[in-house]
Structure 1
Amino acid sequence: MNLPSSGTVARVLLALYSSLLLACTSLPRINPDMVHSPIAPVQLDGAHGPLSDERSKAILDRLKASGMETNIFDLHLAIEEALVGSPLTAGNRVALLQDGPDTYAAMLKAIEAARDHINLETYIFDDDDVGQRFAAALIAKQRSGVQVNLIYDSVGTLRTSPAFFARLREAGVMLVEFNPVNPLTARTGWDVNQRDHRKLLIADGRVAILGGVNISGVYSAGSLGSSGKKPKNGELPWRDTDLRIEGPVVAELQKLFITTWVQQKGGTLVPRHYFPPLERKGSDVVRAIGGSPDEPYSQIYATLISALHSAQSEIWLTSAYFVPDPQLLDALKAAAARGVDVRLVVPSSTDSWLVFHAGRDCYTELLEAGVRLYERRDALLHVKAGVIDGVWSTVGSTNLDWRSFLHNQEVNVVVLGADFGARMRAAFLEDVKGSDEITLDDWQRRSVRARVSERIGRVWEYWL
């Protein structure tokens, strides 16, 4: 989410949101019985297109054999295949990136290595030391003949000076301001409530980096327990997770970027090799999923709910902004009731007061159901990730809140397999180690002021 911290900006936006008499979009109702419906065998794509039924079955059998005792593949894959239009692709290599320093190093390396084009989509692009470093790298590549295309969100960049983007434009970088706050500059109809919350870098159509990190100096320090670097002036470090991906699934991420560019009327892209032949790079099976308020329902939401219904042993989720809708809340409680180990890591402090307290309003209900809650200390938690049964993992820009599922452009990937799942479980346990567990007894003793704050936050949950 990450709205700019300026009090004036926040009040203006809040007034805009409350004054817009917009119809409330609804979330899709996912029927858990759907997972038992007989559906055709799941087919995977590879570097050269769809794999044969036999090859697809062999890969899925290998994934099942390498995982823990679970039937998540039997229960989950078929329903996800029906809900989500993008294919499962084999032959990818996925690297887990922790925090801003690691992610920025990977992004800048990909930018430097680009020889044909760079597509960058981001919510925040600050005009600070980090933003200037990225701007200089992009301008240098543009001047060397590499075409740079940039989509940035209008609300997320409210604090960024127009001169910053003018410098990029003058260097030849093609720019799209997503849903401008100023209605006079809107190209596609004015809707300030719909935001582009994606963080996606694609270099040469071959390497993609995505997750939660914006381009801002607040991510300059690593969270305690990861890179060990401490921020200056006593500020809390930001804890985030991103992925670096190579392989056939990058083409699906490229499609998402270009679709947004076209929908925002960004003009004709400079001809480049946006879809080069992609070779097999590893053994990870990945699905790219884009969420958009222009679609009938959030495919990311539908995928998550179906995975929660299918979970057999573990649901471990980390969310920077946690404001669950009733169906998500019910899915978590139902999983705990059937004996699934449901754990959530959430922030102990935040940059959004309303979101923070709106999410806390449901803690009693979750704790009474047997869900375990942990608050991350010594860091501003900005992670959007989860691992289910040790074999189904997701990382992206999507928070577990109404805004991500209804109002934002988001992008996540699902990675299948025990090897990557083990890395996700290890990262989750590190966050648990750096957290304080909230018990029901302790929570019931919270102050009256905290309870009032929760109720106030909950009133605004749909718009947050």
Structure 2
Amino acid sequence: MLMTAESKNESGMLAAECAGNDIRIFIEGDTLFDAMLSDFSSARRRVWLESYIFADDAIGREFLKVLTDCSRRGLDVRVRVDALGSKFGFSGGSAHCLKAAGVKFVWCHPWQWRKPWLFHRRNHRKLAVVDDQIAYLGGFNITALNSRRISGDARWRDTHFRLSGPLVDDARRAFESFARGDLKWQRGGNRDGMELLTNHGRACRFRLRCHLKDRFNAARKRLWLTTPYFVPDSGTQRDLCRAASKGVDVRVLVPGKSDVPFVQWAARAAYSTLLASGIRIFEYQPRVLHAKTLIVDDDWSTVGRANFDYRSLFINYELNLAAECHALNATLATIFESDLNESLEVRQRPCSRRLPSARVGDLIGWSERQWP
């Protein structure tokens, strides 16, 4: 399998080629949004989009205009938005405008009195499919929070992919399968080491969790994790600690500034155990870190929507790209190291020296680790 990687440019976009798939890696929201809107505008058959958060702010309105224009041109335009994730950011008026233009708009899992348990399970995926040529997936929501033009230096730090090549067909099938209720869709095998992973499977109930466990156990050199919400279950903690005890370089990069404080409390409640096992933990300082990447050794990596918490591994609907590709692994490692340069390493602190209020906060956060 191939592979070449391009170095980072000033726009915040990098690239790698894997098994016939061209992968562009976005770490700046404005660059990503410009690329998505350009591809949507050039579409000839279909534009399918799903997002956990779709805000009808300055960025969202640009997407609304392009999506309605595409539909009026006769394209098959479908938009699926999570009813909880976008509850306070996407108005009923915007939904009506899309529908009036012919867009097939769906609220995913709205509150139902007859099926209240469904509200607990959220569609956390972010996927776009353009014709049969291009797909986007990753961590960026459609919101001005990700735009430097609008939010300035406080914009969120995230990672997203643009794919062209054989994997686009899998992305289309993943979108269609979810729409018809096949929540455990999987292609069956991979494409030369490239695979789209949902977190619910047939052979393994929690497919993403099983996949990660296998990779953790097989790691020999490094295991570098970036996640905004680090609240792993006890089994995942043991897997990480076991890898570190075998001499694997285990590093966890989390935000120093979090948009969900009690989840950060929960993450810090686990620090002592992880640090004692030899795991290194870093907190990113400049802004909110929302990227979700995992690098194992020199050849395997994953990027997607899944957080490293209980909800993503066991409850919500997620979609990740997993790749055995040296070029992609190397590019993501370069990004990881760059982020470490803007982070502070967490040092072991005896629990007795911590303020009682901090310890109480940790316990509250850990008890609330299944936050919606």
C-alpha offsets along residues 181-230 of structure 1, whole Å, 9 cap, x if unaligned? 2547x7xx751101000011110022111001111111112xxxxxxx78
Cα pair 1:237 1:378 within 8 Å, conserved:
no
Separation in structure 2 between the aligned mates of residue 178 and residue 150 of structure 1, nearest angstrom: 10
Q: Which residue of structure 1 aligns with residue 144 of structure 2? A: 217
Amino acid at match of 2:19: A
8 Å contact from structure 1 (residues 397, 411) kept in 2: yes
Matched, 1:148 2:66: no
1:231 to 138, 141, 151: 151
Partner of 2:104: 174
Quick one: distance in 1 between partners of 2:351 and 2:252?
Answer: 15
Shift of 1:295: 9.0
Are the counterparts in 1 of residues 193 and 324 from structure 2 also a CA contact under 8 Å? yes
Q: Which one-letter code corresponds to 1:231 in the other structure? A: S
* Alpha carbons of structure 1 residues 170 and 292: separation in structure 2 relative to 1, 3 Å: farther
**2:47 alignment counterpart:** 118
Equivalent runs, 1:437-452 vs 2, <5 Å: 437-441=345-349, 445-452=353-360
Aligned residues of 1:93 and 1:284 also touching (Cα < 8 A): no
Question: 1:370 aligns to what?
Answer: 278
Deviation per residue, 1:67-119 (Å, 9 max, x gap): xxxxxxxxxxxxxxxxxxxxxx9321211111311221221122112110011
Alpha-carbon spacing, 1:306–1:452, altered in 2? closer, same or farther (3 Å) = same
1:353-432 alignment to 2 at 5 Å? 353-432=261-340
Cα deviation 1:416-446 (Å, max 9, x = unaligned): 1221111010000011001011111488744
Q: Are the aligned partners of 1:293 and 1:407 in contact in 2 as well (CA < 8 Å)?
A: no
In structure 2, the CA distance between the partners of 1:112 and 1:446, relative to structure 1 (3 Å rule), is farther
Deviation at 1:405?
Answer: 1.1
Give the C-alpha shift of residue 401 in structure 1. 0.3
Larger radius of gyration: 1
Q: Are 2:269 and 1:340 equivalent residues in the alignment? A: no
Q: 1:170 Cα shift?
A: 0.3
* Residue 195 in structure 1 maps to residue 127 in structure 2: no
CA deviation profile, 1:227-259 (whole Å, cap 9, x unmatched): xx7834xx7320000011111111111111111
Once the two structures are superposed, residues 265-302 of structure 1 have per-residue CA deviations (whole angstroms, 9 ceiling, x without a partner) of 9xxxxxxxxxxxxxxxxx98421112249996222211
Question: What's the counterpart of residue 8 of structure 2?
Answer: none
Secondary structure in 1 aligned to 2:370? coil
- Cα distance between partner residues in 1 of 2:180 and 2:369: 31
Q: Are residue 241 (structure 1) and residue 159 (structure 2) matched?
A: yes
Q: Which runs of 5+ in 2 are unaligned?
A: 5-17, 184-190
Match of 1:315 among 203, 223, 247: 223
**Structure 1: distance between partners of 2:111 and 2:159:** 29
Superposed counterparts of 1:22-33, under 5 Å = none
**Which residue does 2:14 correspond to in 1?**
none
3-state DSSP class of the match of 2:176? helix
Distance 1:420 1:444, change over 3 A: farther
| Aligned counterpart in structure 1 of residue 65 of structure 2, from 127, 132, 136 | 136
CA pair 93-444 structure 1, distance change in 2 beyond 3 A:
farther
Partners in 2 of 1:340 and 1:162 — Cα distance?
50
Unaligned runs of 5+ in 1: 1-58, 67-88, 222-228, 266-282
- Find the residue that maps to 1:420 and give its secondary structure: helix
Matches of 2:352 and 2:98, distance apart in 1: 53
Q: Which moved more, 1:295-304 or 1:191-200?
A: 295-304
Q: Runs of 4 or more off by more than 6 Å in structure 1?
A: none
Partner letter of residue 177 of structure 1?
W
Partner of 1:165: 95
Contact 1:402–1:461 (CA<8 Å) still a contact in 2? yes
Q: Is the 8 A contact 2:200 2:208 kept in 1?
A: no
The total of aligned residue pairs comes to: 351
Q: With the length of structure 1 as denominator, give the TM-score of the two structures.
A: 0.72
Aligned to 2:171: 253
SS in 2 for 1:395: strand
Q: Taking structure 2 as the reference length, what is the TM-score of the superposition?
A: 0.89
Distance 1:236 1:420, change over 3 A: same
**% of aligned pairs identical?**
32
